[in-house]
């Protein structure tokens, strides 16, 4: 069973992920997974599904970030998260009008968001860069995970892991074998668009911080596509 290391030293203490990686057993999956044949990647994604399921099965006391503030409804937590991202954008001179449209839609359709009534733990950033693989195993074996500074309570479908798994239909579909099926109802698909809008908003801030101007511009195109799909 992989060890889940629910701590994030990469941002708060050491500053860079590779410094964390040097203190943990194993090799980052971003480096080691590609040394296996693609047919063996199925094992990796099955393990990732098992870890995500274990995390998402943890029930929380309220919606919102683990450290607070806490919200009584999922719609309040989602809107507050989007508001924070928009305020950060505007604080550094970026146009957040597209994200403001998403916020308006979230408020207008709050009842759909509030179909989620039980807060579950979300990892925030569980994906290949934050998993360590065994050096010598004949197939990929996850032996550690880290970088949980974005952990919060909410709808598991909003987690970054789910977003990345659903981005492509390749070996990563093995994730669902151990995780279980995803809700494909009309309301669930609408919520997924709200969640999808949150990701390019956060990515826009990160790209701006890194001086990636082209990436910032691309985030506006991505958001325009999401807004168009929301109707």
pLDDT tens-place values along the chain, 231 residues long: 444 443 333 333 334 444 444 566 789 999 999 999 999 999 999 999 999 999 999 999 999 999 899 999 999 999 999 999 999 999 999 999 999 999 999 999 999 999 999 999 999 989 999 999 999 999 999 999 988 888 999 999 999 999 999 999 999 999 999 999 999 999 999 999 999 998 888 889 999 999 999 999 999 999 999 999 886
Q: Which residue has the tokens 């579950």?
A: 120
Structural domain contains residue 66: no
Is the domain of 81 the same as that of 126?
A: no
Is the domain of 136 the same as that of 109?
A: no
Can you give the pLDDT at residue 187? 96
Can you give the pLDDT at residue 9? 32
Can you give the pLDDT at residue 19? 47
Can you give the pLDDT at residue 231? 65
* Phi, psi dihedrals of residue 41, rounded to the nearest 5°: -65, -25
Cα(2)–Cα(4) distance, integer angstroms: 6
CB of 131 closer than 8 Å to CB of 144: yes
Is the domain of 152 the same as that of 114?
A: no
Structural domain contains residue 65: no
Is the domain of 110 the same as that of 205?
A: yes
**Who contacts 33 (Cβ-Cβ below 8 Å, separation ≥6)?**
41, 44, 128, 133, 140
Structural domain contains residue 168: yes
Is the domain of 137 the same as that of 171?
A: yes
Cα(101)–Cα(197) distance, integer angstroms: 10
For residue 29, what are the domain limits?
1-60+120-182
Is the domain of 128 the same as that of 214?
A: no
Is the domain of 50 the same as that of 11?
A: yes
Structural domain contains residue 204: yes
Q: How many domains does the chain have?
A: 2
Is the domain of 203 the same as that of 101?
A: yes
C-alpha 166: how far from its chain's center?
Answer: 11
Can you give the pLDDT at residue 23? 64
Q: Which residue has the tokens 């991202």?
A: 85
Reading phi first (left if > 0) and then psi (alpha if -120 to 50, else beta), residue 206 is in: alpha
Structural domain contains residue 114: yes
pTM: 0.84
Structural domain contains residue 56: yes
Cα(44)–Cα(33) distance, integer angstroms: 8
CATH of the domain at 165: 1.10.510
Structural domain contains residue 67: no
Is the domain of 227 the same as that of 133?
A: no
Is the domain of 113 the same as that of 135?
A: no
């Amino acid at each position: 069973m992989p060890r889940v290391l629910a701590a994030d030293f990469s941002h708060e203490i050491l500053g860079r992920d590779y410094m964390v990686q040097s203190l943990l057993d194993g090799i980052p999956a971003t480096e080691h997974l590609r040394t296996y044949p693609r047919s063996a990647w199925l094992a990796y994604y099955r393990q990732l599904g098992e870890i995500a399921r274990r995390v998402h099965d943890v029930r929380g006391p309220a919606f919102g970030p683990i450290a607070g503030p806490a919200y009584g409804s999922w719609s309040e937590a989602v809107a507050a998260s989007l508001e924070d991202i928009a305020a950060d954008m505007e604080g550094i001179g970026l146009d957040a009008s597209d994200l403001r449209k998403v916020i308006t839609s979230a408020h207008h359709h709050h009842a759909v968001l509030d179909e989620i009534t039980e807060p579950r733990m979300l990892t925030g950033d569980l994906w290949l860069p934050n998993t360590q693989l065994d050096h010598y195993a004949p197939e990929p074996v996850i032996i550690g995970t880290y970088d949980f500074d974005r952990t919060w309570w909410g709808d598991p479908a909003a987690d970054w892991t789910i977003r990345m798994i659903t981005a492509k239909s390749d070996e990563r579909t093995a994730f669902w074998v151990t995780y279980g099926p995803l809700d494909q109802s009309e309301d669930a698909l609408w919520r997924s668009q709200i969640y999808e809008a949150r990701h390019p908003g956060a990515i826009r801030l990160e790209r701006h911080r890194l001086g990636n101007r082209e990436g910032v511009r691309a985030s506006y195109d991505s958001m325009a596509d999401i807004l168009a799909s929301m109707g």
